[in-house]
């Protein structure tokens, strides 16, 4: 029952009932898929899916490689033509399939290879980020960044930071698909 | 009732001839206008130097009263009052601000009522032919410097006309038969708000305005503002001393000239209540051939 | 409702005339249901049935989405709308699902809708657009207004008395209350809500903004998400639905009303409305069809948080 | 002229500039010092610092100097600067806010102005209206210029422009409550 | 299921050093669908490619994945390789295990693990790949240049010199544009006409150039390679084929009109050429002012014309022609000073603009180059220049710098001092901006050698008292307001986009900014391109520019246009949007979001419930779509998809990455 409901019911029904408050995050159901982040020496590692636009962020990551910068191996990049190609449903999909965090990255606004794509990206994900937070997702688990083709150090730093930010949060089980 | 009349404090005191002539003209034109009951001071020209909220709350009460009394527009003769009341009207368009104002004045405010200067009402709401029909003594040959002052046209959010070269009153004067002069001081400040606190500064500014009116070849100055008028009229002597030359410029309210052109008695219009003799110039105008 | 007596008479007369003259091929309105507190949708094509039309404070259904049944049809249909319903029609017009030639919009004054117990619906207390935002004709003296406004027309006084729009300023209270909770509490709350969903799609079917020919939740081909009502798939559905109507939701509240599981769907829609306003400036969907919805445009100086 | 230790003054005045922005909506960072405000200011001749310079002083952190200056009280509030400012800084509103801030900070240099405004508002609070004669007389007493403007008295009396007894509106308490409510909002008690 | 091959490259030791390539290949071989997996030292090398080609044949592969360096490096290589063995090039995916893996991770175990994930991602994707083919579109080998100012003339000349036919169009009846009005040019002070006129003649006589003056673009259809441009040729009332330009008609015409070219400071006739060096030098009749056309009385021109060229019954002519590419060079117009009421709003006769002064300085101008002020023809002594009028002024909605005024004011002050040695120029400025070769040096000379008196501050007000102009400004360096009694005030009015710039942009389908300046495709790297393929920008229509910049841009745009014209057909992007019309509801959300205007709503005939119905669906122009994918996300029903980056492919990649 919420504020808009025309059906009967007292406003108190809107609130989370007391029993929920203070309970731990949903216990993983017994049939949940195994955590995607593999354990290394028994230690859990965050597993991050990144969407990178071909023209800026993917190129920035290439430059980080050319410059032999070192960063944690926790992120896997999916190449897309433009950050504007990243459908919010892809982000949800990654969470469903077991990603612990998702990054969407593209050219800085104004530098889009296609002129305007990332302006729409910005609007879309500013909004989605707030919605996910509203639904209880830790904002550290879903981030967007502008990383240009020359910003290899920034790419390295973003991957490093993201990994370290997610590590203390533990595996993400929210919305994880249950294996049949 | 269309217009709620808001005379303001000056129109019974220093600006009494404005009050008298406005009354007479409104009555003569049989306008749909009545004084707002229990109006209070709009706070000009001190509240805004004291507290931004107070400065919109004081005039807002008048808007609320006007709404309650069923008026659609507030007619404001005094330029200073107009500026403050208009500012309150503009502020009330913002729902948050309006709520704050309602809390302070303890009255409801719809934000729909509009404040207008008496000048624009006279020019825009009374059509040419209706005005022309009233004219008995056209102001033939009278060269007037239309002086608007600051408060009707600045700042932009409240302005009833363009800030640098307003023409509303010029058009009105032309319709009355007078010849408005072109001059550069239509909206330069006369120092009205400083006359009590810094009389020296004020009179210097008054003198500049009068000087350029004279240089432009005007016979007189016409204004829509009691502050400007009392300043230009009462302190003209001091200004003359400052300039080292005599000016002899009668200062009229536009309503006085309207009333005169309509043929109303000078006394009714308060034309005998000036510092700079104001009746002679009008009497010297050519009288139109009767019939 | 006595204020609406003449409006009811006028509705019937008008519908009859429109059908008899062939001006329209059908009329969408309401009829009295099995109980006095029930006023349900009615579609008539026969002038003789015009007398069944009825409108009162129980006519809560928004009929606009029903127009989609005729989206590729040249004939004209008439539809009776309250303020909130009219925004649904604008939604369909802006989404080019119907053309102005296909619909004759008849605006009605809204007395404020009440529940069975007679108390004003929350959505009406929070209403900002009690008057139609567009109409080809109006009955009951209601005024068309594209601005948030006070109720007009013959029921204006009644609406004011029951408090239509009186809580418009508090529309976001539920959102704010949830925002104040911890992440764990929010997660638990929404998990409970999503778990309830039975994927009946009633919310989608009634929504004028959900006007796709083929909904991605109906087609298996691409495999966006499983049709099974698992928590995971339900969350995917809930968020995707919300994102698809973000900036396009006309705030009619029908999704939540028809939800058999009492999921607070409008809270999510309102959350998005609130953030859109805060991020991209004021916007009311389904009011002015010439203004592109916020996710279909941008400003180069939009808020920047992704640096 | 002493050197301005900019790194200190600018740093220490961040709060003041933020206050100007949040409370009064004035952003001095907009100003690019073109001087169009000062050039058109009819009272510039009576100021020790022009309005442009005052804005510069705020940008540079010389806040105390600005608040205690006479210039802010010489402003006639004619709004010419605001109308002409190419960057829409609204210098007139800035001057107004500086006058309010000067009173808050107890740095008012022009006591006459302060007394005038206080008396004016007192009159409105008491009667709902301004009583011109009462206010002028008290102003003269309080500022020690007993006969200032007195030369106009007889003529004004004859013209019916002076009323010795204050008029009141029907419901002066309503206006007094406005003053009280504003004070309450500001957290002041009188 | 498709038969997939996986080729793991060692890149010498670049990859093999941190990634166990054998393990990657082994894991690949175990994947469903993978029928062949192989590692090799250098996959991009000739033997490496041969190896791939042989494997494709041997194992009858439907597609393959190369795990190697960045696809930004070698994707084309491996796609071409596929093409050579009969495989569609778009059945190939390359995943990056070098830049994104071996080079950035030291731990071989972690590196190998990540490389395997990426390989799986590639395999999952390629299983969903579909063969793609680029569409080709024909190229019409002909260019249109809109606007015949200096930028347009330069562009037309360069395209023509490259050997392509070009039509140079202008709405005025002479080419030359603003530069023709200017007296002398900074920083060299050579006369504008002396350098412009030869170019005007050259372009008019060029065999590849067709001049189309007194003509306006009405509509533009089509797209790159075949723009169909509808042009209105305005009625001239003079048969240009017969007219010899003798000028007899002009001399005898009795009707005088203020000349636009002379900023209305001098007269012209109703039949006229705008200036003596006009090209083409043939007059037109200004119909609203022509006595004959208005009243039917007069007709002197017709009587006197020795070649019988006057045609009072002339009509506008509308033609549609096809061009492969368009250069837009529509220039600017001077800011209208009426917005500055504080400076008299244009009502004070002796408050003039920079362009007025150009005409007063010009020897063939209305005063024959004598400096006479407009009100009484007197020679001015005190002259005040005010800069940034309609520039850097947010209150007047002109926040930008007009870029040229600092220099043209310095030039005009210099020229005034030369003409009137007794005069004095006071120049109010906020900043003096002289970026440009020899510009700062010129400014220095204005100050030092030509007595230009610079005052730092804006002017607040100008008003007239008698025959004097009172100028009140601030000297911000002095810290005091200043007043000047001037005889003449020159407002350095800035540049505005043409009043109808937006309209033309909408006609052309190109973008413009908040003020109406045309937007380039990239502010740094694509300065003369627009977002619309085949349309280029030259000169001030893109933003305030001086002559050297305009000329440079004209040439740049010409190179871009010529490069297109060398081709007989254009190959489009193969990886572009695709619309599933059965699912499309025609809502048009994709139409507004497409940066290339490649999507239109088109009617589709369809049998619904046994009846033929028409409904609207989105249609993609494969010549315009550049494959950004923005439309795919705007589409809620995902009717819009994209070849090479389809929803299915990306989902498969995500799934493969996560489900390990």
Residue B92 has pLDDT above 60, yes or no: yes
Q: How close, in Å, is residue C239 to chain A by CA atoms?
A: 8
Cα distance between residue E32 and residue B181, in whole Å: 94
D182 touches chain B (CB under 8 A): yes
Size of interface C-E (CB pairs under 8 A): 59
Given pLDDT bands bounded at 50, 70 and 90, which one contains residue E56? very high
Instruction: Indicate whether A131 belongs to any domain.
Output: yes
Number of domains in chain B: 2
Q: Using 50, 70 and 90 to split pLDDT, how confident is the model at B49?
A: confident
Helix and strand totals (H; E) in chain D? 12, 0
- The label of the residue with tokens 């006057």 reads E310
DSSP state letter for A146: E
Q: Select the residue of C95, C97, C214 nearest E583 (Cβ to Cβ).
A: C214
Any idea what DSSP says for residue A3? T
d(CA E80, CA E90): 9
Chain D residue numbers with beta carbons less than 8 Å from the beta carbon of E473 are 35, 39
pLDDT score recorded for residue D141: 80
The minimal CB distance from E654 to the residues A64, A93, A156 is found for A93
- CATH number, residue B92: 1.20.1050.140
Residue B129: is the preceding peptide bond cis (ω within 30°)?
no
Residues D121 and D92 in one domain: no
Q: Which pLDDT score, from 0 to 100, does residue C16 have?
A: 96
Q: In what order do the strands lie in the sheet with A75-80?
A: A75-80, A48-53, A101-106, A142-146
Q: What is the pLDDT of residues C83-113, one digit of tens each?
A: 999 999 999 999 999 999 999 999 999 999 9
Query: Could you report the predicted ipTM of this complex, rounded to two decimals?
Result: 0.68
Q: Which domain holds residue B229?
A: 134-283
**Per-residue model confidence as pLDDT tens digits over E114-153:** 999 999 999 999 999 999 998 888 999 999 999 999 999 9
pLDDT band, residue A16 (cuts 50/70/90): very low
Distance CA E496, CA E541 (A): 9
**Does chain C touch chain D (at least 3 C-beta pairs within 8 Å)?**
no
CA of residue B231 relative to chain centroid, distance: 13
Instruction: Single out the residue in D55, D84, D105 at which a domain terminates.
Output: D105
Partners of residue E463 in chain B, C-beta under 8 Å: 183-185
> C-chain residues within 8 Å CB-CB of E583?
212-214, 219
Question: Which of D35, D84, D87 has its CB closest to that of E457?
Answer: D35
Do the domain assignments include residue C206? yes
Chain E residues whose CB is inside 8 A of the B165 CB are 341, 345, 347
Q: How far is E470 from chain D (nearest CA, A)?
A: 12
Residues B278 and B178 in one domain: yes
The verdict on residue C128 lying in a domain is yes
Q: Which residue range(s) make up the domain with D139?
A: 111-186
In this predicted structure, the answer to whether residue E64 has a pLDDT above a threshold of 80 is yes
The residue ranking higher by pLDDT, E642 or A180, is E642
| Confidence (pTM) | 0.74
Find the helix or strand (DSSP H, E) in which E334 lies: strand E332-334
CA distance C261 to E507: 52
Query: Quick check: E545 and E329 in contact, CB under 8 A?
Result: no
Residue E361: its H or E element: helix E354-361
C193 and C162, same structural domain? no
> Helices D14-24 and D51-60 meet at what angle, rounded to 10?
120
Nearest Cα of chain A lies from the Cα of E174 at a distance, in angstroms, of 36
| Count of beta carbons in the 10 Å neighbourhood of residue A56 | 26
Asked if D38's CB is within 8 angstroms of E472's CB, the reply is: no
Asked whether residue D81 falls in the same domain as residue D35, the answer is yes
Band the pLDDT of B47: cuts 50, 70, 90: confident
Q: What is the pLDDT of residues E417-456, one digit of tens each?
A: 999 999 999 999 999 999 999 999 999 999 999 999 999 9
Q: What is the mean pLDDT of residues E611-636?
A: 92
Segment 169-208 of chain C within 8 Å of chain A by CB: 171, 173-175, 177-179, 181, 183-192
Task: Let me know whether C285 and C194 are in one domain.
Answer: yes
- C147 in the same domain as C8: yes
Q: Is residue C158 part of a domain?
A: yes
Domain ranges of chain E: 4-127, 235-315, 334-496, 577-643
Looking at every residue in chain E, the average pLDDT score rounds to 95
Residues of chain D that touch chain E, judged by Cβ-Cβ distance less than 8 Å = 32-41, 44-45, 50, 52-53, 80, 84-88
Pair D11, D96 in one domain:
yes
Q: Are C230 and A7 in contact (CB < 8 Å)?
A: no
SS (H, E, C) chain B: CCEEECCCHHHHCCCHHHHHHHHHHHHHCCCCEEECCCCCCCCCCCHHHCCHHHHHHHHHHHHHHHHHCCCCEEEECCHHHHHHHHHHHHHCCCHHHHHHHHHHHCCCCCCCCEEEEHHHHHHHHCCHHHHHHHCCCCCCCCEEEECCCCCCCCCHHHCCCCCCCCCHHHHHHHHCCCEECCCCCCCCCCCHHHCCCCHHHHHHHHHHHHHHHHHCCCCEEEECCHHHHHHHHHCHHHHHHHHCCCCCCCEEEHHHHHHHHCCCCHHHHCCCCCCCCCHHHHHCCCCCCCC
What pLDDT is stored for residue E179 in this prediction?
A: 97
D72 in the same domain as D12: yes
Residue scoring higher pLDDT (A39 or B213): B213
Could you tell me the sign of the dihedral formed by the alpha carbons of A118, A119, A124, A128, in that order?
Answer: positive
On whether both D40 and D130 belong to a single domain, the answer is: no
Both C152 and C188 in one domain: the answer is no
Number of separate domains in chain A: 1
Give me the residue from D42, D156, D177 closest to B106, CB to CB. Answer: D177
| Position D1 in a domain | no
Which residues, numbered 239 to 268 in chain B, qualify as contacts with chain D under a Cβ-Cβ cut-off of 8 Å? none
Domain boundary among D54, D71, D105: D105
Residues C287 and C181 in one domain: yes
Answer whether E235-315 and E577-643 agree in fold.
yes
A10: pLDDT strictly greater than 60:
no
Question: Average model confidence (pLDDT) for chain A?
Answer: 82
pLDDT at E237 over 80: yes
Residues D29 and D67 in one domain: yes
Whether residue C248 lies within 8 A of chain A, CB to CB, comes out as no
Same domain for D133 and D100, yes or no, is no
Q: Which residue of C has its CA nearest to E585?
A: C213
Backbone angles phi, psi at C80, to 5 degrees: -90, 135
pLDDT > 90: percent of chain E:
93
Closest residue in chain D to residue B45, using alpha carbons only: D117
Q: Do E464 and B184 touch (CB under 8 A)?
A: yes
Q: Is the pLDDT of residue A40 over 80?
A: no
Token readout for E222 is 């089509």
Residue E392's nearest CA partner among E335, E352, E461, E343 is E335
Give, for all 190 residues of chain D, the pLDDT tens digit.
689 999 999 999 999 999 999 999 999 999 999 999 999 999 999 999 999 999 999 999 999 999 999 999 999 999 999 999 999 999 999 999 999 999 999 999 988 888 888 888 988 998 888 888 788 888 888 877 766 777 787 888 888 887 777 788 888 899 999 999 999 888 765 4
Q: 3-state secondary structure string, E400-455? A: CCCCCHHHHHHHHHHHHHHHCCCCEEEEEECCCCCCCCCHHHHHHHHHHCCCCEEE
Taking the CA of residue C146 and the nearest CA in chain E, the distance in Å comes to 23
Q: Do E481 and D53 touch (CB under 8 A)?
A: no
Is residue A97 a part of any domain in this protein? yes
Domain closes at, from D53, D79, D105: D105
User: Domain holding D78: CATH number?
Assistant: 1.10.1060.10
Residue B291, pLDDT above cutoff 50? no
Shared domain for B106 and B209, answered yes or no, is: no
Rg, chain B, Cα only: 19
Give the DSSP per-residue string, E464-509: EETTEEEEEEEETTTTEEEEEEESEEEEEE-EEE-TTHHHHHHHHT
> Does residue B184 share a domain with residue B86?
no
CATH number at residue B205: 3.40.50.11810
User: Do D12 and D95 fall within a single domain?
Assistant: yes
Classify E137 in phi/psi space as left (phi over 0), alpha (psi -120 to 50) or beta: beta
Beta bridge partners of E617: E602
Q: Partners for E (CB, 8 Å, 3+ pairs)? A: A, B, C, D
Task: Read off the pLDDT of residues B240-279 as tens digits, 9 standing for 90 and up.
Answer: 999 999 999 999 999 999 999 999 999 999 999 999 999 9
The verdict on a CB contact (< 8 Å) between E601 and C73 is no
Looking at the fold, whether C68 and C129 belong to one and the same domain comes out as yes
* A50: in domain: yes
| pLDDT at E155 > cutoff 80 | yes
A170-174, C12-16, E635-639: which range is least confident on average?
Answer: A170-174
pLDDT for E624: 81
Whether B126 is covered by a domain: the verdict is: no
Q: What is the CA radius of gyration of chain A?
A: 19
CB contact under 8 A, C232 and A6: no
Q: Is the pLDDT of residue A30 over 60?
A: no
Q: Any idea what the CATH number is for the domain that residue A61 is in?
A: 3.40.50
Place of tokens 């010419």: D80
Do at least 3 CB pairs under 8 Å connect A with D?
no
pLDDT value at B37 more than 90: yes
Which positions in chain A touch C126 (Cβ < 8 Å)? 3-4
Among the partner residues A40, A64, A76, nearest to E121 by beta-carbon distance: A76
C-alpha torsion E373→E376→E377→E378, nearest 10:
-80
Which class would CATH give E334-496? alpha beta
Question: What range does the domain containing C247 cover?
Answer: 172-294
Which residues neighbour E313 within 8 Å (Cβ) at sequence distance 6 or greater?
none
The torsion angles phi and psi of C26, rounded to 5 degrees, stand at: -165, 160
Tell me whether residue B138 is in a domain: yes
For residues E104-114, give the mean pLDDT: 94
Residues listed for chain A: 180
Residue at A21 is within a domain: no
Residues C156 and C185 in one domain: no
**Chain E interface residues (partner D, CB cutoff 8 A):** 342, 388, 392-396, 430, 456-461, 472-476, 479-482
Residue from the list C96, C216, C296 with its beta carbon closest to the beta carbon of E637: C216
Residue A137 covered by a domain:
yes
Among candidate residues B85, B94, B33, the one with its CA nearest the CA of residue B63: B85
Residues D25, D88, single domain; the answer is yes
Report the alpha-carbon distance of residue C135 to residue A51 in Å, rounded.
46
Question: Are D59 and D123 in a shared domain?
Answer: no
- For residue E457, how many other CB atoms are within 10 A of its CB? 25
pLDDT tops 80 at residue E660: no
Number of domains in chain D: 2
Percent of the residues in chain E that have a pLDDT greater than 70, as a whole number: 100
Q: Which among B78, B93, B119 is the end of a domain?
A: B119
**Class assignment of domain E577-643?**
alpha beta
Tell me, yes or no, if A78 comes closer than 8 A to chain C by beta carbon: no
Tell me whether residue C302 is in a domain. Answer: no
**Do D90 and D151 share a domain, yes or no?**
no
Residue B93 lies in a domain: yes
Question: What pLDDT is stored for residue A27 in this prediction?
Answer: 40
Asked whether residue B288 is assigned to any structural domain, the reply reads no
With respect to residue D63, please indicate whether it lies within any of the assigned structural domains: yes
Q: Does B14 map to a domain?
A: yes
Q: Which residues of A touch E653 (CB under 8 A)?
A: 78
Mean pLDDT of the region E557-574: 94
Positions in chain C short of pLDDT 70: none
Tell whether A129 is covered by a domain. Answer: yes
Residue partners of E336: CB distance under 8 A and separation at least 6: E346, E390, E493, E496
Q: Is there a domain that residue B273 lies in?
A: yes
The size of chain E, in residues, is 660
Other CB atoms closer than 10 Å to residue E270's CB: what's the count?
26
Q: Is the pLDDT reported for residue B82 higher than 50?
A: yes
E485 touches chain B (CB under 8 A): no
- Looking up tokens 């504003």, which residue turns up? D182
Given a cut of 50, whether residue E197 has pLDDT beyond it is: yes
Structure tokens at C19: 């059908």
| Chain A CB contacts of C264 below 8 Å | 1-5, 14
Give all strands (DSSP E) within chain A, no chain letters. Answer: 39-40, 43-44, 48-53, 75-80, 101-106, 142-146
Is there an interface between D and E (3+ Cβ pairs < 8 A)? Answer: yes
Cα–Cα distance for residue pair D169/D162, rounded to 1 Å: 18
Same domain, D115 and D100: no
**pLDDT of res. A2:** 44
CB of C219 less than 8 A from some CB of A: no
Confidence of residue A138 (pLDDT cuts 50, 70, 90): very high
- Cβ pairs bridging D and E (under 8 Å): 72
C262 Cβ under 8 Å from any chain A Cβ: yes
pLDDT at position A32, please? Answer: 46
Distances (CA, A) of C268 to C200, C277, C292: 18, 14, 21
Give the integer Cα–Cα distance in Å for D17 and B152: 30
Flag whether B289 is in a domain: no
Is the pLDDT confidence value at B109 over 70?
yes
| CATH class of segment(s) E235-315 | alpha beta
Same domain, yes or no: C157 and C219: no
Please indicate whether, in this complex, the C-beta atoms of E521 and A115 are within 8 angstroms of each other.
Answer: yes
CA angle D97, D32, E434 (to 5 degrees): 175
Please tell me which residue of chain E has the smallest CA distance to A176: E658
Give the residue among B257, B194, B252, B264 at the shortest CA–CA distance from B15.
B252
Q: Which chains touch A (3 or more CB pairs under 8 A)?
A: C, E
Class of domain E4-127: alpha beta
**Is the CB of C122 less than 8 angstroms away from the CB of A25?**
no
User: Is B67 part of a structural domain of the chain?
Assistant: yes
| Residue closest to C25 by CA, chosen among C101, C86, C91, C89 | C101
Residue E170 has pLDDT above 90, yes or no: yes
Contact E460 D87 (CB under 8 A): no
pLDDT score for E183: 96
Q: Given CB atoms, is E602 within the 8 Å cutoff of chain C?
A: no
pLDDT of residue D189: 53
Verify C-E touch: 3 or more CB pairs within 8 A. yes
Dist. CA B3–CA B23, nearest whole Å = 13
Residue E487 in contact with residue E508, Cβ under 8 Å?
A: no
């Amino acid at each position: 029952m919420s504020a808009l409901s025309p059906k009967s019911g007292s406003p108190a029904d809107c609130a989370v009932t007391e029993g929920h408050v203070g309970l731990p995050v949903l216990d993983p159901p017994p049939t949940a898929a195994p955590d995607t982040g593999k354990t290394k020496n028994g230690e859990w590692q965050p597993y991050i899916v990144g969407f990178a636009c071909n023209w800026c962020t993917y190129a920035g990551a290439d430059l980080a490689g050319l410059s032999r910068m070192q960063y944690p191996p926790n992120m896997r990049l999916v190449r897309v033509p433009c950050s504007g190609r990243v459908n919010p449903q892809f982000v949800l999909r990654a969470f469903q399939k077991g990603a612990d965090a998702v990054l969407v990255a593209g050219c800085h606004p104004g530098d889009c290879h296609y002129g305007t794509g990332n302006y729409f990206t910005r609007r879309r994900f500013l909004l989605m980020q707030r919605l996910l937070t509203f639904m209880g997702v830790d904002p550290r688990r879903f981030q967007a960044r502008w990383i240009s083709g020359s910003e290899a150090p920034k790419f390295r730093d973003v991957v490093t930071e993201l990994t370290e930010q997610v590590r203390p949060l533990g595996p993400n089980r929210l919305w994880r698909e249950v294996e049949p | 009732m269309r217009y709620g009349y808001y005379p303001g404090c000056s129109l019974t005191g220093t600006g009494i001839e404005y009050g008298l002539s406005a009354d007479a003209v409104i009555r003569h034109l049989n306008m749909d206008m009545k004084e707002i009951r229990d109006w209070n001071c709009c706070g000009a020209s001190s509240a805004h130097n004291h507290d931004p909220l107070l400065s919109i709350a004081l005039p807002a009460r008048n808007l609320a009263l006007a709404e309650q009394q069923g008026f659609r527009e507030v007619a404001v003769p005094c330029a200073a009052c107009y500026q403050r009341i208009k500012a309150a009207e503009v502020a009330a368009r913002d729902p948050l601000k309006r709520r704050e104002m309602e809390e302070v004045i303890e009255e409801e405010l719809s934000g729909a009522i509009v404040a207008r200067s008496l000048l624009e009402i006279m020019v825009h709401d009374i059509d040419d032919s209706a005005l022309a029909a009233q004219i008995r003594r056209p102001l033939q040959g009278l060269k007037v410097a239309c002086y608007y002052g600051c408060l009707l046209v600045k700042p932009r959010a409240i302005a009833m006309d363009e800030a640098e070269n307003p023409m509303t009153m010029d058009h009105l004067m032309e319709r009355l038969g007078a010849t408005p002069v072109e001059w550069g001081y239509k909206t330069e400040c006369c120092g009205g708000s400083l006359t009590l606190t810094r009389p020296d500064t004020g009179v210097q500014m008054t003198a500049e305005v009068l000087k350029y009116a004279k240089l432009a070849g005007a016979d007189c100055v016409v204004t829509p503002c009691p502050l400007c008028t009392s300043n230009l009229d009462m302190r003209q002597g001091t200004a003359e001393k400052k300039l080292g030359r005599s000016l002899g410029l009668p200062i009229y309210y536009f309503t006085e000239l309207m009333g005169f052109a309509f043929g109303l008695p000078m006394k009714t219009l308060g034309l005998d209540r000036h510092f700079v003799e104001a009746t002679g110039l009008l009497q010297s105008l050519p009288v139109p051939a009767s019939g | 409702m006595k204020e609406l007596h003449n409006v009811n008479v006028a509705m019937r007369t008008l519908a009859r005339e429109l059908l008899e003259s062939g001006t329209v091929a059908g009329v969408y309105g309401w009829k009295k249901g099995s109980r006095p507190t029930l006023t349900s949708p009615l579609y008539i094509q026969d002038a003789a049935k015009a007398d069944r039309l009825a409108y009162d404070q129980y006519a809560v259904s928004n009929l606009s989405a029903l127009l989609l049944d005729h989206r590729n049809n040249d004939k004209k249909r008439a539809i009776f709308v309250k303020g909130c319903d009219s925004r649904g029609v604008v939604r369909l017009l802006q989404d080019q699902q119907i053309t102005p030639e296909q619909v004759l919009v008849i605006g009605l004054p809204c007395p404020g809708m009440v529940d069975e117990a007679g108390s004003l619906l929350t959505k009406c207390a929070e209403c900002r657009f009690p008057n139609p935002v567009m109409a080809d004709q109006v009955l009951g003296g209601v005024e068309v207004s594209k601005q948030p406004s006070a109720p007009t027309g013959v029921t204006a006084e009644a609406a004011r008395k029951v408090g239509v729009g009186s809580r418009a300023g508090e529309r976001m209270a539920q959102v704010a209350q949830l925002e104040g909770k911890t992440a764990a509490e929010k997660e638990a709350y929404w998990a409970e809500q999503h778990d309830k969903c039975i994927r009946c799609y009633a919310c989608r079917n009634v929504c004028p903004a959900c006007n796709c020919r083929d909904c991605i939740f109906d087609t298996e081909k691409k495999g966006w998400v499983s049709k099974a009502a698992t928590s995971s798939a339900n969350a995917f559905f809930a968020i995707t639905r919300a994102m698809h109507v973000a900036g396009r939701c006309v705030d009619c509240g029908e999704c939540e009303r028809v939800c058999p599981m009492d999921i607070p769907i409008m809270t999510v829609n309102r959350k998005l409305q609130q953030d859109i306003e805060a991020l991209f400036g004021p916007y009311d969907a389904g009011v002015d069809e010439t203004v592109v919805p916020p996710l279909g445009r941008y400003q180069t100086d939009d808020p920047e948080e992704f640096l | 002229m002493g050197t301005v230790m900019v790194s200190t003054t600018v740093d220490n005045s961040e709060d003041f500039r933020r206050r100007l922005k949040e409370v009064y909506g004035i952003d001095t960072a907009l100003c690019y010092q073109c001087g169009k405000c000062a050039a058109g200011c009819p009272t510039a001749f009576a100021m020790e610092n022009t309005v442009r310079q005052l804005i510069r002083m705020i940008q540079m952190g010389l806040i105390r100097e600005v608040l205690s200056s006479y210039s802010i009280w010489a402003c006639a509030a004619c709004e010419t600067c605001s109308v002409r400012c190419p960057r829409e800084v609204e210098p007139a509103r800035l001057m107004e806010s500086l006058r309010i801030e000067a009173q808050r900070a107890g740095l008012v240099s022009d006591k006459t102005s302060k007394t005038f405004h206080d008396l004016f508002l007192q009159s409105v609070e008491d009667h709902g209206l301004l009583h011109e004669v009462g206010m002028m007389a008290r102003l003269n007493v309080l500022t020690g210029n007993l006969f200032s403007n007195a030369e106009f008295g007889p003529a004004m009396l004859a013209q019916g422009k002076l009323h010795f007894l204050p008029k009141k509106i029907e419901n002066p308490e309503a206006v007094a409550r406005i003053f009280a409510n504003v004070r309450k909002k500001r957290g002041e008690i009188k | 299921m498709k038969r997939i091959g996986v080729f793991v490259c060692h890149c010498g030791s670049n990859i093999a050093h941190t990634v166990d390539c054998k393990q990657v290949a082994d894991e690949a071989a175990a994947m469903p669908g993978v029928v062949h997996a192989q590692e090799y030292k250098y996959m991009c090398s000739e033997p490496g490619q041969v190896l791939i080609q042989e494997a494709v044949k041997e194992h009858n592969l439907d597609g393959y994945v190369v795990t190697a360096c960045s696809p930004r490096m070698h994707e084309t290589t491996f796609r071409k390789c596929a093409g050579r063995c009969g495989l569609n090039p778009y059945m190939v995916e390359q995943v990056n295990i070098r830049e994104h893996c071996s080079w950035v991770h030291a731990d071989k175990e972690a590196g190998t693990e990540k490389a395997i994930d990426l390989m799986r991602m590639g395999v999952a994707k390629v299983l969903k790949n579909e063969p793609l083919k680029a569409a080709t579109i024909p190229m019409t080998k002909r260019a249109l240049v809109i606007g015949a100012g200096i930028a347009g003339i330069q562009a037309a000349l360069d395209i023509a010199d490259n050997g392509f036919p070009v039509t140079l169009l202008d709405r005025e009846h002479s080419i030359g544009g603003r530069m023709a009005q200017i007296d002398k040019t900074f920083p060299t002070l050579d006369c504008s006409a002396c350098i412009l006129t030869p170019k005007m003649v050259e372009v008019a006589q060029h065999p590849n150039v067709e001049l189309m003056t007194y003509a306006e673009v009405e509509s533009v259809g089509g797209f790159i390679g075949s723009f169909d441009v509808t042009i209105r040729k305005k009625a001239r009332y003079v048969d240009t084929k017969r007219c010899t330009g003798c000028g007899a008609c002009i001399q005898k015409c009795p009707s005088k009109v203020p000349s636009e070219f002379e900023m209305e400071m001098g007269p012209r006739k109703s039949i006229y050429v705008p200036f003596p060096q006009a090209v083409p030098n043939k007059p037109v009749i200004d119909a609203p002012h022509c006595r004959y056309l208005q009243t039917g009385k007069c007709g002197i021109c017709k009587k006197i014309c020795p070649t019988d060229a006057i045609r009072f019954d002339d009509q506008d002519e509308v033609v549609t022609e096809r061009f492969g590419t368009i250069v837009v060079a529509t220039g600017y117009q001077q800011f209208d000073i009426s917005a500055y009421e504080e400076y008299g709003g244009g009502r004070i006769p002796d408050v003039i603009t920079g362009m007025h002064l150009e005409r007063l300085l010009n020897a063939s101008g209305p005063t024959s180059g004598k400096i006479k002020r407009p009100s009484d023809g007197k020679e001015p002594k005190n002259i005040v220049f005010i800069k940034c009028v309609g520039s850097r002024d947010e209150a007047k909605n002109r926040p930008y710098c007009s870029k040229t005024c600092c220099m043209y004011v310095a030039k005009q002050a210099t020229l005034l001092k030369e003409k009137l040695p007794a005069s004095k120029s006071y120049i109010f400025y906020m900043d003096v901006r002289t970026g440009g070769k020899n510009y700062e040096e010129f400014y220095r000379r204005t100050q030092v050698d030509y007595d230009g008196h610079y005052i730092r501050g804006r002017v607040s007000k100008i008003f007239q008292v008698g025959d004097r102009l009172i100028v009140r400004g601030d000297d911000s360096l002095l810290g005091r307001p200043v007043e000047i009694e001037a005889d003449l005030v020159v407002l350095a009015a800035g540049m505005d986009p043409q009043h109808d710039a937006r309209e033309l942009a909408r006609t052309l389908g190109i973008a413009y900014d908040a003020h109406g300046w045309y937007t380039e495709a990239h502010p740094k790297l694509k300065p003369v391109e627009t977002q619309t393929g085949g349309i280029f920008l030259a000169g001030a229509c893109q933003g305030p520019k001086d002559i050297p910049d305009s000329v440079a841009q004209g040439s740049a745009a010409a190179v871009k246009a010529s490069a297109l014209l060398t081709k007989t057909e254009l190959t489009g992007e193969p990886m572009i949007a695709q619309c599933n019309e059965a699912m499309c509801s025609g809502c048009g959300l994709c139409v507004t979001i497409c940066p290339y205007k490649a999507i239109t709503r088109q009617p589709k005939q369809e049998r619904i419930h046994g009846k033929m119905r028409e409904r609207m669906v989105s249609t993609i122009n494969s010549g315009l779509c550049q494959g950004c994918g923005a439309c795919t996300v705007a589409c809620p029903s995902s009717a819009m998809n994209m070849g090479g980056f389809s929803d299915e492919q990306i989902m498969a990649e995500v799934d493969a990455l996560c489900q390990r």
